[in-house]
Amino acid sequence: MHVLLLSCCVLVLLVPGPCFTAPTFMPAGDSSPSTEPQVDLKLATEYLQQYYNLQEEPMGRMKRGGPSFTSKVKDMQMFFGLNATGVLDSNTLETMSSPRCGVPDVEEYSHIQGTRWNKNVITYRIGRYTRDLPRNSVDSLVESAFSVWARASSLTFARSHTRNADIMVEFVSHAHGDLYPFDGPRGTLAHAFGPGLGIGGDTHFDDDEHWTAGETGFNLFVVAAHEFGHALGLKHSGNPESLMYPTYKPSRSANLLSGEDVANINALYSPVTGRPHYFSRFGWSSQQNPRQSGSPFPQLMQNKCASDLTFDAVSTLGEATFFFKERYLWIKHNEHYDIKEGPITNFMPKIETSIDAAFWVPRRSTAYLIHESTFWTVKGSLVKGKPRALSHFGFPAWVQDVDAAVHIVKTGRTLFFMHDIYWSYNENRRVMDFGYPKYISEDFPGVNTTINAAVHKDGFIYFFVGPEVYQYDYTQKHVVGVEKANSWLGC
């Protein structure tokens, strides 16, 4: 199923940035060029990379007149009804500067057009509240936002007070455990996940914004209605009259929905059965570039408290710890008790495989996710570029996979484990250390078996071996404790 995030009050397109005003759509015509070309070029390049899949050039260079850049500018101009010249005129730059949501504008959405809940009675729960409004006001505004869709369709929304509600509504700030941190005032306003198990349907609002019931600040009713459209499976619309249009408009008619919105929600929740379910992510943040995924969502959620639970890979990633098993992922934020979970493609749509090993290099704010003989680079919450060959790290040709990897900040080394041997990679010089591979049992006394996953935290290496975790003192060279793997997920 698919996920979306909203970026402003009235928000309609899920893109980064709060939508406190709608972009001005002026008649196509000649506009004066910007007086700050370098600033404009940087803005446009980042914008097009975020929302129009503009590929970064080698060494990070981008030419304003390059054919790819120009064609992407035209794509953007056509989407917003501007004069499609490919030139960064003032109207184009004004639109690029306007608050908006984080979903790419020119993605092919047909493969997720059928995402929906497989029922017509949908439950919701309000978890953490905003400090800006009384609780009863939040309750009323959220209920009214759901009613917008209920009146236009066969759907019924029932408030629940249990943690297994379909749609969890929460006001949070900064990093909050789902890989899409909020960015403070007037940035990302909200985001939502499309229909699905686990985190599916969950809708988060940035509590650093000023939420109101009127036309000042950000109108919670309007933003919530837009977000709930995404939580129900709707995508963005290019129609400025649609609630699902990409930018926030502070004032609207009493009836938020356009005829198009009504038709789309009823087409999605028609009596047709047997539709496939997908789980995609839409982020309202200039720092994100979430995309839809067509990977089928697992029929059942993984049981994180199963006594025999094992992990394929474990790694910190910024302020969270990621646990990979097959094509499933749990994310535990270091400062929160709740755990986000779902298919890997929900959080990283480019990755449609399992992950065999993963490690995090803090000084680069970069994680590396390995699958067999290839790896992905993850910076922030984005998978950067295409997968690369594992041989990039200097492995001999016969190494086609690794079991685990872990980066040791103090030494600047990344250790790669395979069967009964391991390598040491110098991250500063970006070469393998001389004399490797070596035997794991000789350099890590007490660890005499294949390692499934490894992570470095608080001065210790934690080796995940089957359903157990060995706490290893890297300085003293011995195991100092053993616990169950699922204890890391609060079991």
Ligand-binding site membership of 405 (annotated): yes
CB-based contacts of 419, cutoff 8 Å, min separation 6: 403, 450
Q: Binding site annotation covers 263?
A: no
* Given 107, 227, 341, 427, the catalytic residue: 227
Is 207 a known ligand-binding residue? yes
226 known member of a binding site: yes
59 is in an annotated binding site: no
| Rounded-to-integer distance, Cα 173 and Cα 190, Å | 10
Is 206 annotated in some ligand binding site? yes
Annotation says 227 is catalytic = yes
Asked whether residue 209 is marked as a ligand-binding residue, the answer is yes
Q: Any known ligand binding at 101?
A: yes
The answer on whether 241 is annotated among ligand-binding residues is no
Tell me whether residue 458 is annotated as binding.
Answer: no
Terminus-to-terminus CA distance in the chain, angstroms? 28
Any binding-site annotation on 261?
Answer: no
Does 183 belong to an annotated binding site? yes
Q: Does residue 338 have a known ligand-binding role? A: no
Q: Is 356 labelled as part of a ligand binding site?
A: yes
Residue 230, annotated as binding a ligand? yes
> Is 371 labelled a binding residue?
no
Q: Is residue 168 marked as binding?
A: no
Is the C-alpha dihedral spanning 108, 166, 318, 180 positive or negative? positive
Active site residues: 227
- Which residues carry a binding-site annotation for Zn(2+)? 101, 176, 178, 191, 204, 226, 230, 236, 244
- Which residues carry a binding-site annotation for Ca(2+)? 132, 166, 183-184, 200, 202, 206-207, 209, 312, 356, 358, 405
- Which residues carry a binding-site annotation? 101, 132, 166, 176, 178, 183-184, 191, 200, 202, 204, 206-207, 209, 226, 230, 236, 244, 312, 356, 358, 405
